[in-house]
């Protein structure tokens, strides 16, 4: 009988120690590396598109509901003998409105290159669209390539265990 009582006391003590350790934040807790990562959408294209005149060139994709931050980088090459501007706007379009950022690069003549980067953020209720829109001036011909767009959903909860 004394062996059965001793076994019962040890079992209760082990449960008590485990409960105290969990409450104190030590023991079997989830490490920071196990936190749920944000959802990330990466869109890359190396296909060249040409912006001529004032016509827009679009790159876009859908995103589900959530708070999103998007960033885009591109490279442009001027195919004319005259310096030109290349304007790119990154938009996150939701059901009710749009949030956007715009950047402009100047490209020298005769094949000179320029890189552009732009960032924007917006909360989307049900579904939305991330769109990169680029256009050149009316007299230019600019090749747009090395396009990379990344959209990251902001986590609503992140747990970090520093212990």
pLDDT at 73 over 70: yes
The residue-averaged pLDDT of 6-12 equals: 49
In percent, how much of the chain has pLDDT > 90? Answer: 22
* Domain(s) of CATH 2.60.120.660: residues in the chain: 38-153
Is 70 exceeded by the pLDDT of residue 8?
no
pLDDT at residue 33, as a whole number: 46
User: What is the Cα–Cα distance from 55 to 158, expressed in whole angstroms?
Assistant: 43
Q: What is residue 137's predicted lDDT score, i.e. its pLDDT? A: 78
Q: Which residues contact 6 (CB under 8 A, 6 or more apart)?
A: none
pLDDT, one tens digit per residue, over 100-157 is 888 888 888 999 999 999 999 888 888 889 999 998 877 788 999 999 998 888 764 4
Coil vs helix vs strand at 40: strand
Superfamily of domain 38-153: icosahedral virus (2.60.120.660)
CA distance 44 to 87: 19
The whole-chain average pLDDT of the chain stands at: 77
Give the residue from 152, 124, 141 showing the smallest Cα distance to 86. 141
Classified as helix, coil or strand, 13 is: helix
The whole-angstrom distance between residue 128's C-alpha and the CA centroid of its chain comes to: 14
Contact yes or no for 84/142 (Cβ under 8 A)? yes
């Amino acid at each position: 009988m004394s062996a059965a009582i001793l076994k019962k006391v040890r079992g209760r003590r082990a449960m008590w120690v485990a409960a105290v350790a969990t409450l104190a934040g030590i023991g079997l807790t989830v490490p920071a590396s196990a936190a749920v990562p944000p959802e990330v959408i990466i869109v890359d294209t190396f296909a060249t598109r040409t912006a001529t005149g004032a016509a827009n060139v679009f790159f876009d994709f859908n995103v589900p509901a959530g708070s999103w931050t998007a960033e885009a980088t591109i490279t442009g090459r001027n195919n004319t003998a005259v310096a030109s501007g290349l304007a790119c706007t990154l938009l996150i379009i939701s059901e009710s409105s749009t949030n956007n950022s715009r950047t402009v690069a100047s490209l020298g003549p005769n094949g000179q290159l320029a890189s552009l980067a732009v960032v924007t953020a917006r909360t989307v209720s049900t579904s939305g669209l991330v769109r990169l829109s680029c256009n050149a001036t009316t007299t230019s011909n600019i090749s747009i390539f090395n396009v990379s767009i990344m959209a990251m959903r902001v986590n609503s909860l992140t747990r970090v265990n520093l212990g």
